[in-house]
Amino acid sequence: GRKEALLLVAATWFGGAMLSAIPYLVYAHIGEVPGTEHPFREPVSCVFESMSGLTTTGATVLTKIDRMPRSILLWRALTHWLGGLGIVVLFVAVLPSMGVEGKRLFRVEAPGPEPEGVHPHIRETARTLWLIYVGITILQILALRIAGMDVFNSVCHTFATLATGGFSTHNASLGGFHNNIAIDIIVLFFMICAGVNFGLYYHLIRGRFRAVYQDSELRLYLTIMFVVTAIVTFTIANQPIKLTTGETLQPSWIEAARQSALTTVSVQTTTGFCTSDFNLWPFLAKALLLLVMFVGGCAGSTGGGIKVIRVLIAFKVMVAELERVFRPNVVRPLKVGKATIGPELRLATLAYVFGLILLFGAGTGLLKLFEPNGTIDMTTAASASVATLCNIGPGLAKVGAVENYAWFTAPSKCVMIILMALGRLEVFAILVLFSPRFWRTT
């Protein structure tokens, strides 16, 4: 039933985070990190890192990533890859044989109207989506190898890209590859792909190109990306840009567009890879990046955030309500593409957006409360809240592109662990478990 499905999903994610934390905890007692205090001495830091991996957030407690052993770096990347589309789709494929309806699990992870012709309760469809995920993974690994990246880094960065996670093998993130244009373009392309509804790839394989071309969410997703990239390019074109490596460059228009595109796409898809410190960019650029942090990727993608389809539905509901004010007798069906949006989905969409905003505010307040006076400003608290709730990773100020989450107190890390899980599992899938009325209903 629905109760069991929701409970199973929540238990899987939290249980998975606990199990995934074991390698970090073991490493804390058998390994040393030269020149720095061990980042995994606190068990809560281990769980934070593993939850960040499985929820594809990419927030990290590591301060010296370049000094970490490859086994730990590969494990971090693997938690991303499994957490991306992997865990839920795998459970959709397996659990129906155990008597749990797959569609109920799929709906937790893939909100919004389903792409026509894709039926998540059919195990064969779930397996197809899983194979698509694996196929795109192999393509990116090969592309990065051709661009000059070694096998280890190709695998780690592909896992982090396709899952929209953002864990890198370098402190400088993508900037650690010496400003390699080919690598940047490849990662940029696959980040965009990762933020697309994987149901559309299902259509592509079956030759339904019109369904992909006419998808309203995909069009809006790409439009937001293009417009924000263009505006950010204009705002940063005439000023020095500090790279994640510490270097400063005076960019040409082409270089400004490159840095803007990489950052905008990385933030909107909630991947979190960085090549420049966007925390130092002008206010307008940072405000737009904060906006697309909330928007996120498409429904049915590995991206986090509110999801583009919800933004589209909420906007259409607002326009419809405005029209009712001056034309109360006109009744129009609310449509997204060919799909009619009924009252139930309208309410669910608005409730989700409102719930996310409430959690964002609560998270910000709790982080301010749990940190000692003077150690955290409002910008840091707010951006840490949205960066974990929307599964982005880097935020602004003290959690910016070249910063980390190691300095937070244990209670704050616990708050952010919960925020990461809530964001990944669509908020209500977890909150409803704490409602007595939910358990009393049949």
Within-domain flag for 384: no
What mean pLDDT do residues 262-281 have?
96
What pLDDT does residue 96 have? 41
86: confidence class by pLDDT, cuts 50, 70, 90: low
Within-domain flag for 310: no
What pLDDT does residue 156 have? 98
Residue with tokens 């206010």: 283
Query: At 171, is the secondary structure helix, strand, or coil?
Result: coil
Q: How many domains does the chain have?
A: 1
Within-domain flag for 436: no
What mean pLDDT do residues 175-185 have?
92
Can you say how many angstroms the Cα of residue 61 is from the centroid of all Cα atoms in its chain? 18
What pLDDT does residue 238 have? 87
The yes-or-no verdict on residue 293 having pLDDT over 50 is: yes
Within-domain flag for 49: yes
Within-domain flag for 67: yes
Within-domain flag for 376: no
What mean pLDDT do residues 279-294 have?
96
Total Cβ atoms within 10 A of residue 441: 9
Q: Which of 47-56, 149-158, 160-169, 207-216 has the lowest mean pLDDT?
A: 207-216
pLDDT > 90 in the chain, percent: 59
The 10s digit of each residue's pLDDT in 195-246 is 998 888 888 888 888 888 888 999 999 999 999 999 999 999 989 999 999 9
CA–CA dist 335, 337 (Å, integer) = 6
Question: Containing domain of residue 97, as a range?
Answer: 2-215
- Read out DSSP for 354-416? HHHHHHHHHHHHHHHHHSPTTS--HHHHHHHHHHHHTT----SGGGSTT--STTS-HHHHHHH
